[in-house]
Structure 1
């Protein structure tokens, strides 16, 4: 019973709404409310600030949620460990990823599923770097793929994967560019569509331009690499994307890729998991796959795209 009550608290903290929390736990709203009330009686503290609607958790309630997440994660890890001892790795691996690392995610998930046919995978691939770490700390994902250039805070393990390098995508009719490279300053002079400023991938581009004394001034911004490529099919745009994406998407007709140099900017991408002992079965299994994989091919575009 206590595990159900803890699940209700975690759901309510996440959803901030009684009905949605109950739905996420597959119980009725009265059952969820009664479960939380019983937990309050057992602990002899109020956990919820009550009114006509959900008004938030008390200080004690916030602390209970921290412990509840950890307890439920440990229970899940124990169940998975016992199952793995009997029949191999099972359960659902939950991965959170920054958008620009999606090509790496496809490689790792394919290898993971091949090695562990009884397990399944769920991927959230549109997260900011800070969201990846936040969801890991809240035990809402098992592993994250994000930038690891800056020191990752204590409490996490890092397996480095590859360096994210960048290419300019521009129309072949722009004949001013010869060869297979272009400088950042020349790229900045084009009508650009770029990722939104809130995204780490965009900040990498801004930093590279800042290194040559320039500031990005895109005419159009969007929140996904796929959208950037789609924009190029209908407008006069050029864009800057990680070279890794050219291993996933075919370039639009009449578009070519040029490696960006002067300077060659690169952001390091890695697999991040919680530093805990014992490590969960799913996190350990994915880490083993990541350490065996060679993802350095994602650092450069395909030869026929240059």
Structure 2
């Protein structure tokens, strides 16, 4: 009897995994590939789940047409059940032999350079854990994936409208510098204004990124609006384009900790306004909490990320 119960439980978990994968991938073949099964096996398992629940979960036609309203509700429960199963396994493993498994961390592009300040001490403290960092994410996707249990934690902007569904740990204040070639006249200045930056041939992050929306707000406070000639979703790409000598850009000061100030470039602090935006660790609020998220939160609480990001490679004054 115990074996039959264990088999039934395993089948249910597998069916729920298939349903969550289909909801995420929105395509039968891709969902099957993500679950490492054949498409007929995935489809049959979902049909059996529908029979067991006595309700339709998937709208079927010649191709995937989405989940039914009932399916949309069930997939929320499925995500929670699977997350609780994984969290329980992590907790038991941690009690038995120390934390192990896989930690998934998301990051907005502007903050991805700061993630290493957490993953280094985290991996040193928990050598059995493998860490996956998903960088260059949009903030809205980060919050959605935290709530859907697709991420364990994230480093992103600490907005005032973050709901009670999340816990946060402040890490540092994001400040901004004008990155340009040494030949530019502004490169000889100790500061530059946002209005002056708006008049340059700029490459900036795309308008869909939270980091770009922050910049647009600061430009608006200065009474101006940029007209970037080039946009990208990568901070590294901004550095690469400035290197060509055709562009200037605005980058977070924290990224100088990663790249330094490359040869032939200058980083000039921006003023009028001189702004700083809080960035921190964000985890989903759940009870009991995830042992992975709890361990990373402990690291964040004892790591001085702000001081570390002030050290610029190659700068003898730091």
What is the TM-score with the length of structure 2 in the denominator?
0.92
Tell whether the 8 Å contact from 1:93 to 1:122 is kept in structure 2 after alignment.
Answer: yes
Equivalent residue, structure 1, for 2:3: none
Offset at 1:176?
A: 4.6
Structure 2 residue matching 1:55: 3-state secondary structure: strand
Mapped to 2, the partners of 1:64 and 1:73 lie a distance apart of: 14
Tell whether the 8 Å contact from 1:164 to 1:298 is kept in structure 2 after alignment.
Answer: no
The question of 1:304 aligning with 2:307 is answered no
Tell whether the 8 Å contact from 2:257 to 2:309 is kept in structure 1 after alignment.
Answer: no
Corresponding residue to 1:93 among 96, 103, 113: 103
Mapped to 2, the partners of 1:248 and 1:177 lie a distance apart of: 20
Tell whether the 8 Å contact from 2:114 to 2:309 is kept in structure 1 after alignment.
Answer: no
Tell whether the 8 Å contact from 2:90 to 2:291 is kept in structure 1 after alignment.
Answer: yes
Corresponding residue to 1:182 among 177, 192, 204: 192
Bigger drift between 105-114 and 168-177 goes to 168-177
- 1:121-160 deviation digits (Å, cap 9, x = unpaired): 0111011111110000111010011101322112111111
- 1:36-95 deviation digits (Å, cap 9, x = unpaired): 111111111111111222111111111110000000000000000000001111010001
Cα RMSD for the two superposed structures: 1.6
Structure 2 residue matching 1:208: 3-state secondary structure: helix
Segments of structure 1 that go 5 or more residues without pairing to the other structure are none
Distance of aligned partners of 1:299 and 1:120 in 2 relative to their CA distance in 1, 3 Å threshold: closer
Tell whether the 8 Å contact from 2:186 to 2:192 is kept in structure 1 after alignment.
Answer: no
Bigger drift between 179-188 and 226-235 goes to 179-188
Q: Please give the residue correspondences for 1:121-140 in structure 2 after superposition, counting only pairs within 5 Å.
A: 121-140=131-150
What is the TM-score with the length of structure 1 in the denominator?
0.96
Corresponding residue to 1:106 among 89, 111, 116: 116
Distance of aligned partners of 1:15 and 1:78 in 2 relative to their CA distance in 1, 3 Å threshold: same
Q: Please give the residue correspondences for 1:58-207 in structure 2 after superposition, counting only pairs within 5 Å.
A: 58-176=68-186, 178-207=188-217
Mapped to 2, the partners of 1:26 and 1:286 lie a distance apart of: 30
Distance of aligned partners of 1:208 and 1:299 in 2 relative to their CA distance in 1, 3 Å threshold: farther
Distance of aligned partners of 1:36 and 1:155 in 2 relative to their CA distance in 1, 3 Å threshold: same
Offset at 1:177?
A: 5.0
Q: How many residues align?
A: 306
Offset at 1:242?
A: 0.2
The question of 1:277 aligning with 2:294 is answered no
